[in-house]
């Protein structure tokens, strides 16, 4: 006869998509499940003992969260708040949450059970899908334009060389040299716009490998003017990826960070420019409309002045740039490569803290479409 399944309730609670928090009678957190860790981007270890009001209550909130929580503790009367705003890592997110008393056999020390449902997720998915579509249209347009620019360049270059030879006069060669070097510059630009022509070759990659390559390239280039901090989770699983393309993605993002820090030296009067390379496992992450149980996350963070506010929303679009000499292609190419890997890049930025996060699914662990 089959044995009835025995259930480890902790596993069950950790697999719920609802975020759950347990709070003691002093309103300090003492447990959060995996969904909640990922909602607040905070591990149980870090959250343990912290006042829950730090997470749930906003300074400008008219609702008296503290009083409501103590009231449920004392009376056992549950309550629900809809569309409450909470702030996670500088980003406002909206949640519905329910607070109820949990009397786990100790009548003198009741606990609070808080169940949170982020309501931005659905909004965010449709926004992301929209963005991806617009992005693809823009990329096709760019490739079309690049192709058309590139076609006549070969002819112009060849004709200029012939002209230079037949003129055979050093006085004019200055002009023909200018034409040739400008044509070469345009051709390089068009090549970058067209993106890599090589087909990606996917193999198991430990993300720390390309990341370390990028770190040493940047360290050499900046010659210790920028502090580079590593914060790696070495237990990360391998992902299926094209190693060279991952290097390109990480390099494009790191070079941007370095440029933002080096070109704005007056921003650093009291602190040192710093690049942080961080790797983590991210639970429950929606990538391109698919909810993944977990993904590998690589953060490239800098403490520079931040992405200019007027381009923050469109920063991944081709030709969007905040720099006088920028072409605005680096991030668009990087995002494109990540899409080909079923991954994505996200950006959060305020002055003093800019984080570009790469997400790569590491197995087919989609839980919903
Ligand atoms: N870490 C960062 N800090 C501040 N601004 C940034 C950062 N990363 C990107 N940006 C802004 O985003 C813009 C777009 O970046 P992107 O890499 O796509 O193009 P670019 O760097 O201007 O040109 P290219 O990479 O093609 O040479 C940059 O010009 C810059 O204004
Ligand atoms: Mg760039």
**Ligand 1 near 304 CB (within 6 A):** yes
Q: Is 329 in the pocket of ligand 1 (CB under 6 A)?
A: yes
Distance 222 CA to ligand 1 centre (A): 17
What is the predicted pLDDT for the residue at 104? 64
* Each residue's pLDDT tens digit, 246-271: 999 999 999 999 999 999 888 888 88
Choice between 219 and 151, residue whose per-residue pLDDT is larger: 219
- Say if ligand 1 is within 6 A of residue 352 CB: no
pLDDT of 365 reads: 41
Confidence grade of residue 108 (pLDDT, cut at 50, 70, 90): low
Q: Which pair of structure tokens corresponds to residue 361? A: 């699914």
Residue 204 structure tokens: 């198991």
State which H helix or E strand residue 61 sits in: none
Q: How far is CA 155 from CA 29, 159, 180, in A?
A: 70, 6, 11
pLDDT exceeds 70 at position 363: no
| Joined tokens for residue 17 | 């998509």
pLDDT at 367: 40
Q: Which of 347, 315, 311 is nearest to 331 (CA)?
A: 315
Q: Specify the pLDDT at position 331.
A: 92
Instruction: State the DSSP string of 5-54.
Output: PP--HHHHHHH-SSEEEEE-TTSBEEEE-HHHHHHHT--HHHHTT-BTHH
Judging by DSSP bridges, how do beta strands 227-231 and 274-287 pair with one another?
parallel
Query: Alpha helix (H) ranges present in 21-169?
Result: 34-40, 44-47, 53-56, 65-75, 120-167
In the 8-state DSSP scheme, what is residue 108?
Answer: T
pLDDT for the residue numbered 3? 58
CA of 147 to the centre of ligand 2 (A): 22
CA of 196 to the centre of ligand 1 (A): 19
Region of residue 195 (phi > 0: left; psi between -120 and 50: alpha; otherwise: beta): left
Q: Minimum-distance ligand to the CA of 329?
A: 1
Under a CB-based contact definition with an 8 Å cutoff, are residues 350 and 357 in contact?
no
Which of 15, 325, 36 has its CA nearest to residue 189?
A: 325
Task: Using the atom order of ligand 1, give the atom closest to the CA of residue 323.
Answer: 29
Q: What's the 256 CA to ligand 2 centre distance in angstroms?
A: 5
Task: Assign 303 a pLDDT band (cuts: 50, 70, 90).
Answer: very high
Ligand 1 atom with minimal separation from the 328 CA: 19
Residue nearest (by alpha carbon) to ligand 1 atom 9 = 256
3-state secondary structure of 299: strand
d(CA 87, CA 248): 33
Protein residue with least CA distance to atom 17, ligand 1: 330
For a mutational test of ligand 1's pocket, the pick from 275, 304, 322, i.e. the residue with the most ligand atoms closer than 8 A to its C-beta, is: 322
What size, in residues, is the chain?
369
* pLDDT over 90 at 85, yes or no: no
Measure the CA–CA gap between 65 and 52, rounded to whole angstroms: 10
What percent of the chain is modeled with pLDDT above 70?
90
Instruction: Say yes or no: CB of residue 307 within 6 Å of ligand 1.
Output: yes
Distance, in Å, from the CA atom of 368 to the CA atom of 359, rounded to the nearest integer, reads: 17
Rg (CA), the chain: 26
Quote the CA–CA distance of 231 and 321 in Å, as a whole number: 29
CB of 334 shorter than 6 A to ligand 1: no
Q: Which helix (H) or strand (E) holds 233?
A: none
What's the average model confidence in pLDDT over 15-32? Answer: 91
Average model confidence (pLDDT) across the chain: 86
Give, using CA atoms, the residue closest to atom 25 of ligand 1. 330
Kindly state the tokens that stand for 229: 């901090």
pLDDT confidence of residue 127: 62
Say yes or no to pLDDT of 366 above 50: no
Q: Which pLDDT band, with edges at 50, 70 and 90, does 369 fall under? A: very low
Mean pLDDT (whole number) for 151-180: 89
The answer to whether residue 340 scores a pLDDT higher than 60 is: yes
Please, are residues 279 and 236 in contact by the beta-carbon 8 Å criterion?
A: yes
Let me know if 80 is exposed, middle or buried by CB neighbors in 10 A (0-12, 13-18, 19+): exposed
pLDDT exceeds 70 at position 239: yes
Determine whether the shortest distance from the Cβ of 189 to ligand 1 is under 6 A. no
């Amino acid at each position: 006869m089959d044995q009835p399944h025995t259930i480890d309730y902790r596993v069950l609670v950790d697999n719920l998509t609802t975020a759950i928090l347990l709070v003691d009678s002093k309103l300090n957190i003492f447990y959060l499940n995996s969904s909640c860790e990922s909602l607040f981007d905070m591990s149980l270890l870090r959250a343990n003992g912290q006042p829950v009001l730090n997470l749930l209550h906003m300074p400008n909130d008219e609702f008296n969260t503290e009083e409501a929580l103590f009231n449920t503790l004392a009376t056992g009367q549950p309550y629900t708040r809809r569309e409450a705003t909470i702030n996670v890592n500088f980003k406002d997110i909206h949640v519905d949450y329910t607070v109820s008393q949990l009397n786990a056999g100790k009548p003198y020390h009741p606990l609070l059970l808080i169940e949170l449902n982020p309501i931005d997720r659905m909004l965010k998915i449709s926004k992301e899908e929209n963005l991806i579509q617009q992005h693809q249209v823009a990329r096709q347009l760019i490739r079309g334009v690049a192709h058309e620019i590139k076609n006549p360049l070969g002819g112009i270059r060849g004709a200029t060389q012939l002209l230079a030879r037949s003129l055979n006069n050093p006085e004019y060669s200055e002009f023909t040299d200018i034409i040739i070097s400008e044509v070469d510059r345009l051709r390089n630009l068009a090549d970058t716009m067209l993106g890599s022509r090589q087909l990606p070759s996917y193999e198991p990659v430990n993300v720390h490998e390309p990341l370390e390559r990028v770190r040493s390239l940047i360290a050499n280039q900046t010659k210790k003017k920028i502090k580079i901090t590593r914060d790696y989770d070495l237990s990360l699983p391998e992902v299926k990826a094209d190693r060279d393309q991952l290097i390109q993605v990480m390099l494009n993002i790191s070079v941007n960070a370095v440029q933002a820090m080096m070109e704005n030296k007056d921003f650093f009067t009291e602190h040192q420019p710093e690049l942080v390379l961080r790797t983590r496992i991210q639970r429950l992450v929606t990538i391109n409309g698919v909810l993944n149980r977990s993904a590998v996350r690589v953060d490239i963070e800098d403490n520079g002045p931040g992405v200019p506010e007027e381009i923050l929303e469109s920063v991944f679009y081709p030709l969007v740039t905040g720099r006088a000499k920028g072409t605005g292609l680096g991030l668009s190419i990087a995002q494109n490569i990540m899409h080909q890997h079923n991954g994505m890049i996200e950006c959060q930025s305020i002055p003093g803290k800019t984080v570009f996060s790469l997400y790569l699914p590491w197995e087919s662990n989609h839980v919903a479409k």
